[in-house]
Each structure stands twice: as structure tokens, then as C-alpha cells.
Amino acid sequence: MNVQRSVRISKYLAKHLRHEPERIGLTLDARGWVPVAELIAAAGRHGFRFTRAELESVVADNDKQRYAIEGDRIRANQGHSVRVDLGLSPVEPPAQLFHGTVARTVAAIRSEGLRPMARHAVHLSADRETATRVGARRGRAVVLTVDTGAMYRAGHEFRVSANGVWLTGRVPPEFLRFPG
């Protein structure tokens, strides 16, 4: 499968497994899963056809491991704007994690901290390089360091998704370090 086709399928999955399943008549279960056959059929009914083999290739080859196939079902690993419980247990985070953003958001983050916005959790990266890539999707990246050790000691909960993205409800500004 060519890269362009793979990207189109991945974006289609993001839209319908993370944000708008109802748009094509899907109903995610409480943990975000939907039968693969149901997804393929619904997509086909709405003019976007792909095969199980293409789907499996997109899931396996996705550099961020955004999706998981388990038997005959599929889900997004994180990043939902629809209500799902991924079944992730709270865990102690490393002492620091990172968040990639762009310069135009820094002033608001300084005063309000990091908020989930349209998602259910703030996403944090385990390494600076990943946070840089995330921030660079919308412009020149600014990488913030999060004192997750102090947050954890203060009672904040953290979870880690199947693809290594750290999730928390919000990050108050006092736990953030800004570059420069």
C-alpha cells in the first residue's frame, strides 16, 4: 500500500474511532472497541472502502501506534474526544515528562496550565524528541517540561496508554518549566 493511501486510512480511523463514530453509524463500546467487520462495512456504506489487510497494515505500520486490533475488534489507543474508558490503571510517572506545543499557546499555558481542551486528558511524552514532533505539527515546536514527580506527590493521577502516551487530567502552571 502506498504512503498516501495509508495516511488517508489512518486519518479516517482517527476521525471515526476517536471523534465521530456516530457519523458513520458506529457505536464504540465502553472501552472504545468496535468490531473490525462493522467498521469496514460502515466505511464502505459511506464511500470509503478499505480491506482488512489494509487496516491491519495501517495499524501495524503506524509510527505512533495510535490503534490496536485485538481479535476481531479495533480501537484508538488514546486521543478520544468521545467518552471512553480505556481501562488504564493509575501508575506512578517518571520524575518528568514533556509536552510539545507552539509559541502562540505559551502565554495561556503560563497562566492556566495544560488543559485537555477537546480531549479527555492532557497528553505528555516520555522524551523531548517526541514532544518536539508533536509540537511541530502546528508550527515551530516549544517543549515544556512537566514536573510529574511533584504532581504525583500532590495527588494527581497519571495513566499510560498502550502506545506510551502519558495521560493526566490537567497540569497546573506551577508544575511546568518553560524553555528560555
Domain boundaries, the chain: 3-76, 97-177
> Which residues in the chain land under pLDDT 50?
none
pLDDT of residue 118: 76
Candidates 96, 88, 79, 75; CA nearest to 151 is 96
**CA separation for the pair 127, 6 (Å, rounded):** 26
The model's pLDDT over 50-84, given as tens digits with 9 standing for 90+, comes to 999 999 999 998 877 889 999 999 999 887 888 88
Could you tell me where the DSSP H helices lie in the chain? Answer: 3-14, 36-45, 52-61, 103-112, 128-136, 148-153
Enter the DSSP assignment of 98: E
**Backbone φ, ψ for residue 150 (5° rounding):** -65, -40
Fold of 97-177: ADP-ribosylation fold (3.20.170)
pLDDT of residue 119: 77
pLDDT of residue 161: 87
Candidates 88, 92, 112, 89; CA nearest to 153 is 92
| Residue 74 near residue 50 (C-beta atoms within 8 A) | no
pLDDT of residue 53: 95
pLDDT of residue 11: 93
pLDDT of residue 66: 87
Q: What is the CATH number of domain 3-76?
A: 1.10.10.970
Q: What is the pTM of this model?
A: 0.72
